Amino acid sequence: MASKTHSGNYFEDFRLGQEIRHATPRTVSEGDVAVYQGLFGPRFALQSAATFAESLGFERTPIESVLAFHMVFGRTVPDISLNATANLGYAGGRFGAPLFAGDTVSVTTRITGLKQNSSGRNGVVYVHSEGVNQHGENVMAFDRWVLVPKRDADAPPPDTVIPALEDAVPAEEFVVSWSAPADYDCVASGSEYLWDDYEIGERIDHVDGVTVEESDHMTACRLFQNTARVHFNQHVEADGRFGRRIVYGGYLISVARSASFNGLGNAQTIAAINGGTHCAPTFAGDTVYAWSEILDRFELPGHARVGALRVRTVAVKNRSCAGFPYKTADGKYDDGVVLDFDYTVLMPKRG
Amino acid sequence: MASKTHSGNYFEDFRLGQEIRHATPRTVSEGDVAVYQGLFGPRFALQSAATFAESLGFERTPIESVLAFHMVFGRTVPDISLNATANLGYAGGRFGAPLFAGDTVSVTTRITGLKQNSSGRNGVVYVHSEGVNQHGENVMAFDRWVLVPKRDADAPPPDTVIPALEDAVPAEEFVVSWSAPADYDCVASGSEYLWDDYEIGERIDHVDGVTVEESDHMTACRLFQNTARVHFNQHVEADGRFGRRIVYGGYLISVARSASFNGLGNAQTIAAINGGTHCAPTFAGDTVYAWSEILDRFELPGHARVGALRVRTVAVKNRSCAGFPYKTADGKYDDGVVLDFDYTVLMPKRG
Amino acid sequence: MASKTHSGNYFEDFRLGQEIRHATPRTVSEGDVAVYQGLFGPRFALQSAATFAESLGFERTPIESVLAFHMVFGRTVPDISLNATANLGYAGGRFGAPLFAGDTVSVTTRITGLKQNSSGRNGVVYVHSEGVNQHGENVMAFDRWVLVPKRDADAPPPDTVIPALEDAVPAEEFVVSWSAPADYDCVASGSEYLWDDYEIGERIDHVDGVTVEESDHMTACRLFQNTARVHFNQHVEADGRFGRRIVYGGYLISVARSASFNGLGNAQTIAAINGGTHCAPTFAGDTVYAWSEILDRFELPGHARVGALRVRTVAVKNRSCAGFPYKTADGKYDDGVVLDFDYTVLMPKRG
């Protein structure tokens, strides 16, 4: 009798152009928002207060962008990255219709590229994943590429296809679901700095560090239904590469996004994830800091009161970000850098 | 002045036929569901997605069966097992009306048997507990028996009465609240295997292990309002039998049920708990695995599209379940076996 | 370019009479209630069961008083106590309109006193904070005073003004939002003792201790958006005063309030916080116990079926409360005492 256990896909299981509809659609609730609040402590006013959400034109409070990302990402893990050795990068992330409590997210992934490595033992799988709500509206879509081992080293290699990946999501594709009123409340939002006040090249140390606990990062993964084994099983990981459980890379995105409130307090939503790299592993006991650099700024045609800032937020462990640690002279990531995240936020503009 | 502190019941406090209405009725919320999600990461589609619940005929998403069990069980602890040395077994567990967010569970227990041990220092108390919702409908009922010390070793023993306990809940008593549509979505559910595909005697290794943290098992007990002291107090347990806090046995049921998704993904609800034994204690730092054996299969008269599988799920700590560890030649539980759980799930049948 | 990072206020930044409207209004949800349940395990029937809340005259279940306090307190931290060395005391806490899931709390603080210390390096800031709901109704107000360092030791001292602080909130100012029905259900509430049964001077050991975990106290602070750094950052605290993260003092209030159910089970709501002192720091790994003394009892004119008890609840770490540890002969707090909390609860009276 065939095993009824799902063991995930290996490199040779993927086919170019293959479409995978993922299991376990997920209805997001106010409870999920509260658990996320307890895990990451976000303070952006749009997600914190229904009254503030209303002031931006929402009938109900939308789900924080990064939580929406995790809910889409989580669905893809059992099919795409259960056996992955590394989550190599992200690109082309687009946030669409806001996600609200009560909405159900379903996710489909298309295989957009395959490249077996010269060792013949593994390969890179490029995918495009798209999450839709119960009305079929796009909620969040993104490209990523992962390193996946082969089950059978003798399986023949596929034709190498590497998809074109965007450097950044074009501003004209941003979905802008809110507007800042003339009396936008900078006291309630916690920051007096609006889009107009940021300059390209400006760097901000978000100052505060938070220490990661095993319970916290595992709870996050269970909330998102991210089942990757390296996060959960100390019995196996004790003999693994690091001797311990590895924190989900996306956990660092949430830590960094929450920390970024201190300096980017009016970045109410994320419009795009342009790119992202998990530079080094994080473990329980590590303390994570973050800093950001403003990479670009755009006006948004038709949106007089909202502008976009392209931001790089860097998460660093066990080291202050006062010196903005990033890369060394040889272009490698500096000691302690765990996340290099390039994304575009929406922020009120002065009228 | 009499102490106003509740110190729980001792063996000689229980009377055969006694009815105890328990304190602290509990309204279950979407928040509870989310905290449970963060603790155990269940992936059964019925509880994960409102859209899927609707496809099975529910107007709203029912609460996961094991969470309903914990909510009933938790009410009984202060009166029945606060002083218990061991939770010896379960039988006759019947799930009734589905529990929904917003429902309030109230629980009553009847003492169905008493047997003082030969040492004269403790005895076994047999109870039947029944949880009802705010409409008075039965939600979940079960028998259990616990080892309870005597306050006063000289208290006279009661007449020994051991109730008849069922080997298994009869299939004709199952409450079946849902049906599988003709287009039941095995992609969304995460498993292509339906009732028809399982054979008696078949064994499934659920593969994935998860390491238990102190924060997690205490949070679970606090959520369920299970107040048993051995779970919470390291200051006392440091000098106790094991030198540390003991994980609530029911925590293992939830871990095992969540793990069982990988192999029993269409077991959308539990109809009955036939029996259960906590074979050995679990502690923070232990990694828990699970495997299952199909014990029996039933068609359900009047339910053409839903069948029942009687399943034994065994939870094991710090040891892979690839070899299906269970009992040794002398009939004792093998090293590492912490839970032996016999229950009946409902699963879609092919039309 | 000026730093966009909020670094909190120092002693010389505060002005007598200054009004600070705090950032990040907070909509409280059923999810928050569930996370709080998982953290502290409260068992008061009013907050546990919608049916019980209805029996006291509520249309919906109100939020537990101490959670309402935390939600108000949390808003004030970034402006008042981010740099505080110590939270010296509370007084004059009044609970107003009940807080319900869906309500949004906004908080304003007035500086009511300033006193530079003789060292010239820091000073005491006295504040009155008031939280209102989205209808502008007062939800919770309190005075506190904190020790705040100076940024610049040479900054001139302010005139010393120490506000008059009440010994206790007068009973005639209590907001009483509920009444006990003639058939108040002492079985459901978990305690047969009503207001009439408590005597001034009576002391109650709440018996049960709970061990604090790093994950739990940080999750609580993140839920309340209490951003004080000493709670979160082991990398910095390793070189700090204690070598480790310090548990938020308010966490102990919640632990003690939950423990007090065992002996004060009918104390359904808190009317006032008369005073409070965090006597010593608490750390992860500490086990916290609590005991209470009845300080006073009041009838409430116009409320035949509800009375008030003024209570001192003392939280103690790593030490049983059987001997009611409090102060030594020289008036100092005894070893292990971490919280001295003076508050007034509302409890049903016999008809």
Output the tens digit of pLDDT for each of chain B's 351 residues.
568 998 899 999 999 999 999 999 999 999 999 999 999 999 999 999 999 999 999 999 999 999 999 999 999 999 999 999 888 999 999 999 999 999 999 999 999 999 999 999 999 999 999 999 999 999 999 999 999 999 999 999 999 999 999 999 999 999 999 999 999 999 999 999 999 999 999 999 999 999 999 999 999 999 999 999 999 999 999 999 999 999 999 999 999 999 999 999 999 999 999 999 999 999 999 999 999 999 999 999 999 999 999 999 999 999 999 999 999 999 999 999 999 999 999 999 997
CA angle B153, B154, B156 (to 5 degrees): 110
- CA nearest to B131, candidates B199, B211, B65, B228: B65
Residue C249 host element (H or E): helix C249-259
What local confidence, expressed as pLDDT, does residue C1 receive?
55
**What token pair was written down for A297?**
């700024």
Asked if C37 and B229 come within 8 Å (Cβ–Cβ), the reply is no
Q: Which of C51, C48, C55 is nearest to C348 (CA)?
A: C55
Q: What is the mean pLDDT of residues A284-294?
A: 98
Nearest to B294 by CA among B343, B258, B254, B333: B343
The helix/strand count (H/E) of chain B reads as 8, 12
- The CA distance from B63 to the nearest CA of chain C, in Å, is 15
* Mutate: best of B51, B260, B286, partner A, most A CBs <10 A: B51
Radius of gyration of chain B (CA): 20
Q: Whole-angstrom Cα distance, residue C334 to residue C324?
A: 10
Contact A174, A65 (CB under 8 A): no
Q: Which residues of chain C have pLDDT under 70?
A: 1-2
Contact (CB, 8 A) for C132 and C68: no
Contact C27 A262 (CB under 8 A): no
Three-class secondary structure of residue C201 per DSSP: coil
State the sign of the Cα–Cα–Cα–Cα dihedral C93, C98, C102, C103.
negative
Pairing assessment for the beta strands C210-211 and C287-300 based on DSSP bridges: antiparallel
Tokens 């039933």 locate to: B298
Tell me how close the Cα of B32 comes to any Cα of chain C, in angstroms.
5
Which of A28, A36, A43 to mutate to test binding with chain C, by most C CBs within 10 Å of its CB?
A43
Across the interface, whether the CB atoms of B40 and A222 are under 8 A apart is answered: yes
Chain C residues closer than 8 Å to A190 by CB: 6, 23-24, 78
Nearest Cα residue to C225 out of C81, C100, C84, C75: C75
Chain C residues with CB-CB distance to B7 below 8 A = 207
- Contact residues, chain C, for A32 at CB < 8 Å: 31
Q: What is the pLDDT of residue C2?
A: 65
Residue B166: phi and psi, rounded to 5, are -70, 145
pLDDT digits (tens, 9 = 90+) for A133-151: 999 999 999 999 999 999 9
Q: Name the residue among B5, B218, B234 with its Cβ closest to that of C205.
A: B5
Partners of residue B234 in chain C, C-beta under 8 Å: 211, 285, 287
> Rounded to an integer, what distance in angstroms lies between the CA atom of residue A128 and that of residue A112?
7
> 3-state DSSP call for residue A250?
helix
Chain A contacts to B (CB-CB under 8 A): 1, 3-7, 21, 23-27, 29-32, 34-35, 39, 78, 102, 104, 106, 134, 213-215, 218-223, 225, 227, 229, 232-236, 245
> Residues A44, B46: contact at Cβ < 8 Å?
no
The answer for residues whose C-beta is within 8 angstroms of residue B183's C-beta and 6 or more apart is: none
Predicted pLDDT of residue A27: 98
DSSP annotation of C157 reads: P
C-beta of residue C216 within 8 angstroms of C-beta of residue C83 = no
pLDDT of C86: 86
B176 near B271, Cβ under 8 Å?
A: yes
3-state SS assignment for residue B53: helix
Q: DSSP letters along A90-128, please?
A: EEEEEE-SPPBTT-EEEEEEEEEEEEE-TTSSEEEEEEE
Q: How far is C228 from chain A (nearest CA, A)?
A: 10
Token representation of residue A211: 């220490």
CA pair distance C185, B23, nearest whole angstrom? 9
Question: Which domains occur in chain C, in start order?
Answer: 11-150+170-178+192-348 (3.10.129.10)
State the alpha helices, DSSP H only, in chain B.
30-40, 45-48, 50-55, 65-80, 186-189, 214-224, 234-237, 249-259
Neighbours of C295 (CB within 10 A): 17
Q: Determine what percent of chain C falls in helix, strand and coil, rounding each to the nearest 5.
A: 25, 30, 45
Q: In the prediction, which pLDDT does B6 show?
A: 87
Question: A26: helix, coil or strand?
Answer: strand
Residue A269 clears pLDDT 60, i.e. is over it? yes
Cβ within 8 Å, pair A29-B32: no
CB C26 within 8 A of CB A48: yes
CA-to-CA separations, B159 to A116, B162, C319, in angstroms, rounded: 75, 10, 41
- Per-residue pLDDT of A44-54, as tens digits, reads 999 999 999 99
A partners (3+ CB pairs within 8 A) are: B, C
Q: Which of C88, C78, C104, C37 is nearest to C225 (CA)?
A: C78
SS3 content of chain A, % helix, strand, coil (to 5): 25, 30, 45
Helix, strand, coil % in chain B, rounded to nearest 5: 25, 30, 45
- Distance from C-alpha of A77 to C-alpha of A70, rounded to nearest angstrom: 11
Instruction: Measure the CA–CA gap between B173 and B166, rounded to whole angstroms.
Output: 13
- In this prediction, residues A79-84 reach a mean pLDDT of 94
Say yes or no to pLDDT of A1 above 60: no
Q: Show the tokens assigned to B92.
A: 């006759």
Cα separation of B332 and C273, whole Å?
57
- Contact call for residues A129 and A142 (beta carbons, < 8 A): yes
List the single best residue of A29, A30, A194, A200 to mutate versus C (max C Cβ within 10 A).
Answer: A30
Q: What is the pLDDT confidence band of residue A3, given thresholds at 50, 70 and 90?
A: confident
CA distance C76 to chain A (A): 12
**Chain B positions in Cβ-Cβ contact with residue A5 (cut-off 8 Å):** 204-207, 262-263
Q: Evaluate whether B279 touches B337 at the Cβ level (below 8 Å).
A: yes
Instruction: Please give the Cα distance from C313 to C292 (Å, whole number).
Output: 4
Closest CA to A47 of A109, A105, A98, A111: A98
Beta carbons of C127 and C110 less than 8 angstroms apart: yes
Q: How far apart are CA C138 and CA A118, in angstroms?
A: 68
Could you tell me which of C284, C278, C276, C279 has the C-alpha nearest to residue C231? C284
Longest dimension (CA), chain B: 68
- Cβ burial C259-268 (10 Å sphere, 16+ → b, else e): bbbbbbbbbb
Q: Across C191-302, where does the E strand assignment appear?
A: 203-205, 210-211, 269-278, 287-300
With CA atoms as reference, report the closest residue to A267 among A275, A277, A257: A257
pLDDT tens-digit profile of A174-230? 999 999 999 999 999 999 999 999 999 999 999 999 999 999 999 999 999 999 999
Q: How far apart, in whole angstroms, are the C-alpha atoms of residue C198 and residue C298?
A: 11
Taking contacts as CB-CB distances below 8 angstroms, the residues of chain A near C134 are: 50-51
- Which chain A residues have a beta carbon less than 8 Å from that of C1? 199, 202
Determine what percent of chain A is predicted with pLDDT higher than 70. 99
